[in-house]
Amino acid sequence: MCDAELKRAGRGSFEEKMAMVAETTLRVVKWYDNHSVTLLSDYTGANPVTEVDRWDRKRKVIIKVPRPAVVKEYNKNMGGVDLLDSLIALYRNKI
């Protein structure tokens, strides 16, 4: 599904594709929120889908938007990656 089709389907729309590579199941999820986001995972896919609150600028209200599980996991763990990057920058060994 291209970005334009996801945009027409509305916020929270997504598409998931699955493939087997060397006995590993890979899932690609393309999700549309304010713009499209593409994530690849061998850990989780789109299900279970949860809802997240988002601000709708046109209607000026908070709306519920479906969010695939892979996006939730990414957001949950991204803080640890940022912390690791900052600690590596602070304590980098120079040889």
Question: Three-class SS of residue 49?
Answer: coil
pLDDT in tens, 55-91: 988 889 999 999 999 999 888 888 777 788 888 888 7
pLDDT-above-70 percentage for the chain: 98
CA 71 to chain centre: 3
Are 26 and 39 within 8 A, CB to CB?
no
- Look at residue 31 in the predicted model and tell me its pLDDT: 92
Domain coordinates of the chain in residue numbers? 3-90
